[in-house]
Amino acid sequence: MSTLETTASLQKGFAVPRENIGSRVQKKSRKIDRENRETVGLQFVDDPRMTCRAVNVFYGEKHAIKNVSIDIGKNEVLAMIGPSGCGKSTFLRCLNRMNDTIVGCRVTGEIRLDDLDIYEKNIDVVPLRAQVGMVFQKPNPFPKSIYDNVAYGPKIHGLAHSRSELADIVEDSLRRAGLWNEVNDRLDQPGTGLSGGQQQRLCIARAIAVRPEIILMDEPCSALDPIATATVEDLISELRQHYTIVIVTHNMQQAARVSQRTAYFHLGDLVEVGHTSRIFTNPAHQLTEDYITGRFG
């Protein structure tokens, strides 16, 4: 069976409703060979918010992302997993052009947000980043008050027309981030004085204060303790009602808990994409299985 046919047939296979997956697991299907780096699985969805086609990223000579094509569906949580240095963060940063800030970074291919090619020459990154928010690995609140942290985005984008409107946005964002009850009596205190988990939720509040449509999260829980992680995960599940979320994580349980689809990256290749439940129960690719069973990573 040629590679192409394999991919096609597997793709067809993944269209099988989820309840059937269990039976496939028992069949112990043969995995795709480790050397084959063609993407397998459910790359494309019916109503995508973002579509990425043949994306390549180079850091100078280094080919960091190799020919990745994937859709990001509306109101879904897409988890990106993979061993360290596999390019998942790099790919995430392509989605709101944060890679622009890195000297020597070059992106080819096409990434569309709805119908807009975000890498087109005359695209302004400022509105793009307002639309595609980002939460970083390490909580990075500004060394300002909690209120100013959240209010900064709406202020620079002119989202609030009055002081009270701004205060409403701040309160709403903090509520959605599940932080309001903890900080409403000390909004004027520095955001850097909060605990790690609170800081990360403050960063999430800051990101959603500019009303983005898509939120990118780059290992948002890697610096947090389990309880703070659980809070943030609950928050992600809740945010899914209104936002499309792409999350990079090292924690496979986390990916399984919060995401609907999971993408597995390996050394710059997007190896496999699929429904989260299937990826973790019956991966189609040998590399994916190796990773989720802990053979490396």
Partner 1 sequence: MNPEFSTSTTAQVLRSLPKRYAKERRFRLLGLCAIVLTMLFLMVLLGTIFLKGWTAFQQTHIRLDVYFDPVRLDVKNLANANYGALVRDSMQRMFPDVEGRSNRLQLNRLISSGAAFTLQDMVTSSPEIIGTTRSLWLPADDEVDMLIKGHTPRDVPETIRRLSDQQLVWIDTLVEDGRLEKQFNGAFFRNGDSREPELAGVRGAITGSFYTLMVTLMLSFPIGVAAAVYLEEFAPKNIFTDLIEVNINNLAAIPSIIFGLLGLAVFLNFFGLPRSSSIVGGLVLTLMTLPTIIIASRASLKAVPPSIREAALGIGASKMQMILHHVLPLALPGMLTGTIIGMAQALGETAPLLMIGMVAFIVDVPQSLQDPATVLPVQIYLWADSPERAFIERTSAAIMVLLAALLIMNATAVYLRNRFERRW
Binding footprint of partner 1 on the chain (CB under 8 A):
96, 98, 101, 103, 126-130, 133-136, 138, 140-143, 152-153, 156-157, 192, 203, 206-207, 209-210
Which CB atom, from 210 or from 235, has the smaller least distance to partner 1? Answer: 210
What are the distances in angstroms from CA 154 to CA 12, 27, 133, 255? 45, 53, 13, 31
Query: Token pair 């400022």 is at which residue?
Result: 126
Query: Token pair 């390549």 is at which residue?
Result: 56
Compute the least distance from the CB of residue 229 to partner 1, in Å. Answer: 20
H/E stretch holding 209 reads helix 196-209
Compute the least distance from the CB of residue 225 to partner 1, in Å. Answer: 20
Cα Rg, the chain, nearest whole Å: 20
Structural contact between residues 259 and 79, judged by C-beta atoms closer than 8 angstroms: yes
* Residue 63 burial class via C-beta count within 10 angstroms: exposed 0-12, middle 13-18, buried 19 and up: middle
CA-based diameter of the chain, in Å?
Answer: 65
- CA geometry: angle 149, 243, 223, nearest 5 deg: 55
Which CB atom, from 54 or from 102, has the smaller least distance to partner 1? Answer: 102
Which CB atom, from 40 or from 236, has the smaller least distance to partner 1? Answer: 236
Compute the least distance from the CB of residue 123 to partner 1, in Å. Answer: 13
DSSP conformation class of 77: E
Which CB atom, from 47 or from 61, has the smaller least distance to partner 1? Answer: 61
Compute the least distance from the CB of residue 251 to partner 1, in Å. Answer: 21
Joined together, the tokens standing for residue 261 give: 């689809």
Which CB atom, from 136 or from 147, has the smaller least distance to partner 1? Answer: 136
Compute the least distance from the CB of residue 127 to partner 1, in Å. Answer: 7
Helix axes 163-176, 196-209, angle to 10 degrees: 130
**Cα 45 → chain centroid:** 16
Which CB atom, from 207 or from 248, has the smaller least distance to partner 1? Answer: 207
Compute the least distance from the CB of residue 288 to partner 1, in Å. Answer: 30
